[in-house]
Amino acid sequence: MFHPLLSGKGWQMFSGRTVFSQLLDFLPRHEFDKCVRRYRGNHRARKFSCYDQFLCLAFAQLTYRESLRDIETCLRAMQSKLYHAGIRGRISRSTLADANETRSWRIYADFAEVLIGIARQLYANDNFALELDQTVYALDASTIDLCLSLFPWAKFRKHKAAIKLHTLLDLRGSIPTLVIITPGRVHDVNILDQLCFEPSAIYIMDRGYVDFARLYRIHRSSAFFVTRAKKNFDYRRLYSNAVDRSSGLQCDHTISLHGFYARRDYPETLRRIRYLDPETNKRLVFLTNNFNLPALTITKLYRCRWQVELFFKWIKQHLRIKAFYGTSENAVKTQIWIAISVYVLVAIVKRRLKLERSLYTILQILSVTLFEKSPILQALSLPDYTSSQEDRHNQLMLFNF
């Protein structure tokens, strides 16, 4: 098979460089420098820049390093190859620890948002389970447990610490468009106050986000939501639409809220759809402000929410976001944002090189070839590389996009 990167200009791009060095070509360095200048990240930094810090922690994510000592040992073993890989500063765990403590995590959060913007453009024309013109987002949160004595700033319960990753996932390409990191005690529904809703977009949420004042803000933004009703939901039926019961649909009602506070918070009508899942025999009740889509499409939309849960499961399994290299809030957020950057970078590489492999397999190959001198496309597309994980049909098939 002919690949443009393996001939002509592609060989010039390779020119005896390591896979890690070629991987960095997909990073917009000028945008990274803008983020650094915005927060004066390199102020008084003589030998170990913010870019060095980013590359060290990206290396740690790609190769599953366990600690700062582990990072230091592995990188020093590759000392002769570091300069050409872009790492100019001397690697020591004390220097890296100081950088994680003092350099603002916002540098890496802003840069991750730049990469997210690039990835969303690359995956903008992708389809997911449904063919819809609107952008569809899934909103959810995942908790990462921590030790209270080591992370006292992340209070969750009386004897427990935790942080939450509140994530808004674009279902086209499974790209996280927004990530907010909070202490574990922050309730999920409060994140709705920090979102700017996109007109005509659809937001899928579980019933933990049911707050009628906040849902009405989505409605007033000309956006749509799909969520599940709580068990104590009180309403008055205004109109009933015909449904095909053989499809699992049991009712499709136009309703108004019953109760002083509920009607005050959401004075408009809502759509209530009841569905019997044939696989689990479980009865589900959905609420939405979208009266245009067929009722069965609404139920399928909510089923797509599982993609954000798989996203959380995937990054917890394959990236370093459960064990941290530092205990301060700044160090934890820095590590998480660089992990997200690595995830999005791999998604960008996958699309730009037109690779058919899953993200999991690409990460596995990169973990063992970073400092080999071979064309990156050749390394990532060798037909004789197989992974036992690819044969497991329950292994996060979402990321085989």
Can you tell me the distance from the alpha carbon of 334 to that of 163, in angstroms, rounded to the nearest whole number?
Answer: 14
Task: Give the DSSP H/E element, type plus range, for residue 35.
Answer: helix 29-38
- Residue 345 covered by a domain: yes
Can you tell me the distance from the alpha carbon of 164 to that of 338, in angstroms, rounded to the nearest whole number?
Answer: 16
Burial class (CB in 10 A: 0-12, 13-18, 19+), 220: exposed
| DSSP letter string, 316-361 | HHHSS-SS-S--SHHHHHHHHHHHHHHHHHHHHHHHHTT--S-HHH
Burial pattern 300-337, b for ≥16 Cβ within 10 A else e, equals ebbebbebbeebbebbeebbbbeebbbbbbbbbbbbbb
Lowest mean pLDDT among 80-84, 134-138, 259-263, 385-389: 385-389
Can you tell me the distance from the alpha carbon of 179 to that of 312, in angstroms, rounded to the nearest whole number?
Answer: 12
pTM metric for this prediction: 0.88
Instruction: Return the amino acid letter for 130.
Output: L
- Residue 187 covered by a domain: no
Domain count, the chain: 1
Residue 274 bridge partners (DSSP)? 251, 285
- Residue 353 covered by a domain: yes
Three-state secondary-structure class, residue 136:
strand
Can you tell me the distance from the alpha carbon of 61 to that of 59, in angstroms, rounded to the nearest whole number?
Answer: 5
- Residue 83 covered by a domain: yes
- Residue 378 covered by a domain: yes
- Residue 241 covered by a domain: no
- Give the start-end residues of each E strand in 196-248: 202-204, 224-228, 235-241
- Residue 184 covered by a domain: no
Which domain, by its residues, includes 98? 4-108+320-399
CA-based torsion, 329, 330, 336, 337: positive or negative: positive
Lowest mean pLDDT among 4-8, 119-123, 290-294: 4-8
The 10s digit of each residue's pLDDT in 80-113 is: 888 777 787 678 999 999 999 999 999 999 999 9
Residue 392 burial (CB count, 10 A)? 10
The 10s digit of each residue's pLDDT in 306-347 is: 999 999 999 998 898 888 999 999 999 999 999 999 999 999
DSSP for residue 198: P
- Give the start-end residues of each E strand in 70-117: none
Q: What does the pLDDT read at residue 158? A: 86
Q: What does the pLDDT read at residue 396? A: 43
- Residue 14: which pLDDT band, with cuts at 50, 70 and 90? low
Q: What does the pLDDT read at residue 12? A: 45
CA-based torsion, 98, 104, 109, 114: positive or negative: negative
- Residue 299 covered by a domain: no
